């Protein structure tokens, strides 16, 4: 195993960790434009007639080349060659488990030492927490995988019972410890042409999932819904970089997926429990966050009130996590402190949470947490679903789409993610109609909401600003575009350091366009 540490800006104590250049890895999910050859399911591909961006094509070519060499030199994939395409038949977790087992069997063949695979990985499996129906599925896949590997290694199945039991635990380890290998790509396709009468296009950043791997060192990082590090990939190498000033002895924590601002606490904890078998108690889930109140909230029907209206399940979490039962009272009366720096924003939408007296009268579904006004949730949900559905169908009808936007904004809180998505959809419709000024306006309105849900320097904001910059360049707003790109570069540098230029070459292209005007 290799582990290197490269210093970034000393001022911010930012660190880049190069973790494990040779992990247990599985490459899969390559775009459909790449067809596999029929001689070896891992090393032969055809890249002709592929419409992928140039940087993604180069990345795929490098991966394929590396994969072919490894297939010849290390029998990590040989058991999959010459037969059915494993990744087309079996779940990716099962295929990855087979490759890990193949590595261990080869080590045993070369050294003659029989080591315990589970002990060598030294990672949690939480088998005892797996639901019974999923546990049965894991056992079945372990038996299937063992039979599949026997066909290559010519093992007696009866003598491989220990391998079956290890594979069961290995599949559980992969479920909660594996990481998706993601390649970041810029898109600028014909589908994104703004106006039929011009060749103007918008640009955006997308993440293409190209593999799955177990990084023994990378798996040591705990999850946080408010992470202080960002993980990314250069080919097979995992890099982890701090995104803020981290005091000494403070744990470095990355996000396993859900983050504050992206999902509310209910969604985050459900996803983490289902996927990783733990109840999250990170800093983002142990304090009251503004985004948890507003991200999926409804607006108060009192036009003079900026309060939020929540549904039942979110309120239950509020009671369980943010308030303590007081002796002698039937409901809650004391609140834990809200997240640092968010007190004012929270008070603006939920003043009643801080009033110890009469708190029981405001914590229930459909009641504004600011003024106690009541809302008919059933009626609002029905109208909201209709407006949201219509929004997706009205790409060619600007007036009707604006009407749907107004309805959504009248029902959802002004800082909810639904409103941000609706503003972004309207921006796209304006762009397709050639009205780029209004497209930029609505893009910025969407970003303003996301800045409240996340924070102004979050990576999600950088991705959205790419669209704004491309729109500004399309109407020759070179100065504004330059300022936008400068902000994008600052955000990407925070998350990717010196690798930002390599991961996002399209940003440099946008910067060059501002200089050409």
Q: What is the pLDDT of residues 188-234, one digit of tens each?
A: 533 443 433 344 455 566 777 888 899 988 888 999 999 999 999 88
**What is the dotted CATH code of the domain comprising 377-516?**
1.25.40.10
Q: What is the pLDDT of residues 67-80, one digit of tens each?
A: 443 444 445 677 78
DSSP conformation class of 471: H
Highest mean pLDDT among 67-81, 98-112, 233-247: 233-247
Nearest to 447 by CA among 204, 216, 219: 204
Q: What is the pLDDT of residues 275-293, one digit of tens each?
A: 999 989 898 888 778 998 8
**Beta carbons of 449 and 327 less than 8 angstroms apart:** no
Q: What is the pLDDT of residues 112-141, one digit of tens each?
A: 776 677 888 889 999 999 999 899 999 999
Nearest to 426 by CA among 448, 406, 405: 405
- Compute and round to an integer the Cα radius of gyration of the chain: 26
Residue with tokens 């039929």: 196
**pLDDT at residue 243 tops 50:** yes
220 by DSSP, 3-state: which? helix
Residue with tokens 């040591």: 220
Share of the chain above pLDDT 70, in %: 70
pLDDT of residue 26: 64
Bridging pattern class, strands 204-214 and 24-27 = antiparallel
Share of the chain above pLDDT 90, in %: 36
pLDDT confidence bin for 46, thresholds 50/70/90: very low
Nearest to 261 by CA among 416, 369, 414: 416
Q: What is the pLDDT of residues 3-20, one digit of tens each?
A: 333 333 333 333 333 333
Question: Rounded distance, CA 265 to CA 295, Å?
Answer: 10
**Beta carbons of 89 and 162 less than 8 angstroms apart:** no
Question: Rounded distance, CA 30 to CA 266, Å?
Answer: 33
**Beta carbons of 173 and 214 less than 8 angstroms apart:** yes
Cα angle 230, 231, 234; round to 5: 135
pLDDT of residue 202: 57
pLDDT of residue 21: 40
Every domain of the chain and the residues it spans: 109-177, 260-375, 377-516
**Kind and range of the H or E element at 102?**
helix 92-111
Residues paired with residue 7 on neighbouring β-strands, in sequence order:
15
Q: What DSSP assignment string belongs to 118-167?
A: HHHHT----GGGS-HHHHHHHHHHHHHHHHHHHHHH---GGGGHHHHHHH
Least confident span in 56-65, 252-261, 420-429, 487-496 = 56-65
């Amino acid at each position: 195993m290799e582990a290197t540490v490269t210093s970034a800006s000393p001022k911010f104590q930012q660190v880049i960790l190069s973790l494990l250049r040779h992990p247990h890895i599985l490459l899969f999910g390559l775009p459909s434009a790449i067809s596999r050859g029929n001689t070896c399911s891992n090393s032969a591909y055809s890249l002709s007639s592929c419409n992928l961006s140039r940087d993604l094509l180069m990345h795929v070519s490098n991966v394929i080349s590396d994969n072919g060499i490894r297939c010849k030199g290390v029998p990590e994939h040989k058991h999959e060659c010459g037969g059915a395409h494993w990744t087309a038949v079996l779940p990716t977790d099962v295929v990855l488990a087979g490759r890990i087992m193949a590595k261990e069997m080869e080590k045993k063949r070369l050294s003659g030492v029989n080591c315990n695979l589970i002990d060598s990985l030294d990672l949690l499996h939480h088998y005892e927490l797996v639901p019974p129906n999923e546990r049965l599925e894991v056992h079945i896949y372990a038996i299937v995988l063992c039979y599949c590997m026997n066909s290559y290694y010519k093992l007696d199945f009866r003598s491989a019972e220990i391998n079956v039991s290890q594979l069961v635990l290995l599949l559980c380890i992969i479920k909660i410890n594996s990481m998706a290998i993601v390649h970041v790509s810029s898109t600028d396709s014909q589908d994104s042409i703004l106006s039929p009468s011009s060749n103007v296009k918008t640009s955006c950043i997308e993440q293409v999932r190209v593999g799955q791997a177990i990084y023994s060192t990378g798996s040591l990082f705990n999850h946080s819904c408010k992470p202080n590090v960002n993980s990314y990939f250069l080919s097979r190498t995992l890099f982890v970089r701090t995104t803020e000033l981290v005091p000494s002895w403070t744990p470095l924590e990355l996000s396993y997926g859900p983050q504050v601002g992206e999902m509310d606490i209910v969604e985050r904890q459900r996803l983490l429990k289902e996927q990783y078998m733990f109840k999250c108690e990170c800093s983002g889930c142990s304090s009251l966050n503004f985004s948890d109140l507003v991200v999926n909230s409804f607006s108060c029907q009192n036009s003079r009130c900026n309060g939020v209206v929540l549904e039942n399940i979110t309120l239950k979490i509020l009671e369980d996590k943010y308030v303590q039962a007081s002796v002698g009272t039937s409901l809650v009366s004391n609140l834990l402190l809200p997240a640092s720096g968010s007190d004012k924003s929270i008070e603006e939408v939920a003043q009643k949470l801080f009033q110890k007296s009469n708190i029981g009268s405001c914590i229930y579904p459909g009641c504004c947490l600011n003024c106690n006004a009541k809302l008919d949730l059933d009626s609002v949900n029905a109208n909201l679903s209709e407006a949201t559905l219509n929004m997706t169908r009205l790409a060619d009808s600007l007036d009707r789409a604006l009407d749907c936007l107004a309805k959504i904004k009248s029902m959802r809180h002004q800082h909810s993610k639904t409103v941000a998505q609706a503003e972004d959809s309207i921006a796209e419709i304006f762009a397709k109609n050639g009205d780029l000024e209004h497209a930029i306006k609505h893009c910025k309105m969407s970003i303003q909401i996301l800045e409240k849900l996340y924070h102004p320097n979050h990576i999600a904001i950088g991705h959205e600003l790419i669209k704004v910059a491309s729109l500004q360049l399309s109407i020759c707003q070179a100065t504004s575009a330059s300022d936008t790109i400068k902000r994008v570069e600052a955000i990407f540098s925070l998350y990717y350091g010196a690798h930002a230029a390599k991961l996002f070459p399209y940003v440099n292209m946008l910067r060059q366009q501002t200089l050409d005007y």
